Amino acid sequence: MNKRLHLFLLISIIGIFVCSAINPQDYQTWALEVSPSILLIGVLIKIYPTFKFSNLVYVLIWIHGIIVIIGAHYTYSKVPVFNWLKDILDLSRNHYDRFAHFVIGAIMAIFLREILIRKSPIKKGKWLFGIVVSISVALSSIYEILEFIIMKMSGKGVNAFLGTQGDQWDAQWDMLLALIGTIISLVILRNYHDQSMKNIENQIKKL
């Protein structure tokens, strides 16, 4: 297993996280957005001595962290590059949140797939595909429900966290894009993921 790669991913994401905490658009929004990623990284560090994911999963989670951190720093509706795209393409809104939900759905698919393959009796095939898609959509739905609950409990102060930009169908769009990202990821990355898991399993056997 490539421990140097794992260490680089961890140190770099911590560095990016620290930088994002410097003068974010809104500290409350920043804290709400980064908390799940911090929790996930903490869990991965905790289980690392006993269970190591494939390198592909660690790289994808690193990408996930960067996407979330950028959105947390600027708020999802004000990420500069997507504001530029909004102006250039004459779009009605900043689409960073749409992009983020699509990519996070794609990343979550491979993360879930590896857990199920390595820690459950489910075998590769249609059932695995369907279960991964179902869990991914369920998690996306739970996140949208949690956003709603936080909004109701905290009031108008978390509008930047919701990032709806006036779209009443924002939650539905987010879930749809996460679903699309999940399906595309399972189709495109499946073979590469199998090879990455095979590599980690072979390295573990040699220890």
Boundaries of every domain in the chain: 3-201
- Tell me the residue type at 183: I
Q: What is the rounded distance in angstroms from the CA atom of residue 204 to the CA atom of residue 22?
A: 40
pLDDT of residue 131: 96
Q: 197: closest CA among 138, 128, 140, 134?
A: 128
| Predicted local distance difference test score (pLDDT) of residue 2 | 80
Low-confidence residues of the chain: pLDDT under 50: none
Give the model's pLDDT for residue 33: 84
Q: For residues 31 and 160, is the Cβ–Cβ distance under 8 A?
A: no
pLDDT of residue 205: 67
Residue with tokens 């709603």: 148
Q: Which of 114, 93, 101 is nearest to 141 (CA)?
A: 101
The two three-digit tokens of residue 83, written as one number: 């504001």
Which residue's structure tokens are 């991965």? 44
For the segment 98-131, what is each residue's pLDDT rounded down to a tens digit? 899 999 999 999 999 999 999 999 989 999 999 9
- Cut 0.85: pTM above it: yes
pLDDT at 138: 93
Confidence (pLDDT) at 108 = 95
